[in-house]
Amino acid sequence: MAETPPLDVLAIAAHPDDVEQTCGGTLIKMAQAGYRTGVLDLTAGDMGTRGTPEIRLQEAEAAGRELMLAWRGNMRFPDARLENSLPARMSLAMEIRRLRPRVVILPYWEARHPDHYRAGELGYEACFLAGLKKLDEATEPHRPFKVLYASLYANVTPSFVVDITEQFERRMAALFRYRSQYGGGPGSELFPAEREIRERLAAIARFYGNLIGVKYGEPFVVKETMRVDDIVSLGVRSF
């Protein structure tokens, strides 16, 4: 397998189109700042009502270009049957060693879809395993410095919110590259129309943006206390 330069930020998600909804604006913003960003989807969405794995992988590639990703991959784990098993953890840990990300973004640990919260569990445990020297003597251990949880669909107070006002439209363009999911066609009565999806996601982004005094925002949660060295330069007004 070809060597990949280390990533600054890696988002791990259960399905193609998950990151586009939850942290796509942040990935674009980081890429625009000069960081190497990547996405690792754990499944190809093969159990989805619409589309096929082959179509969704093609759409993910197109969406990745909109997100300005340096790298995107797919583990091809079974969709709707994602398990936090030892083989899955080991496979993901080895991929993390290969990609060597400094920051990993995971789905929030509580979710309606079992694949989403299992992706969070699986990602966290794989990040830990990846740092164990004896996991595989032939590869260098690596453990990300920071794990963030994308909490856009969780009813929790975020640890921080990223201003994605300038990136919002590009994030939406990336999401709508998944024409099999968000275009018309068979089964479309089961899914909101494109305009409705845009309005919903804009409303959510407006809510989080309002928390920090900007138009659009994406929320994140961290488990550890955040450090501040300069209280004079803190953002977001109190009054």
4 band by pLDDT with thresholds 50, 70 and 90: confident
pLDDT of the residue at 12: 98
152 band by pLDDT with thresholds 50, 70 and 90: very high
Q: DSSP states of 92-141 as a string?
A: HHHHHHHH--SEEEEE-S--SSHHHHHHHHHHHHHHHHTT-GGG-TTS--
Q: Please state which architecture CATH assigns to domain 9-233.
A: 3-Layer(aba) Sandwich (3.40)
What does the alpha-carbon distance between residue 183 and residue 4 come to, in Å, rounded to a whole number?
Answer: 34
**Average pLDDT over all residues of the chain:** 94
Q: DSSP states of 55-105 as a string?
A: HHHHHHHHHHHHTT-SEEEEEEEPTT-----HHHHHHHHHHHHHH--SEEE
pLDDT digits (tens, 9 = 90+) for 44-89: 988 877 778 899 999 999 999 999 999 999 999 999 999 999 999 9
**Average pLDDT value for residue range 216-237:** 96
pLDDT digits (tens, 9 = 90+) for 159-178: 999 999 999 999 999 999 99
- Residue 156 reports pLDDT greater than 70: yes
Query: How many residues in total does the chain contain?
Result: 239
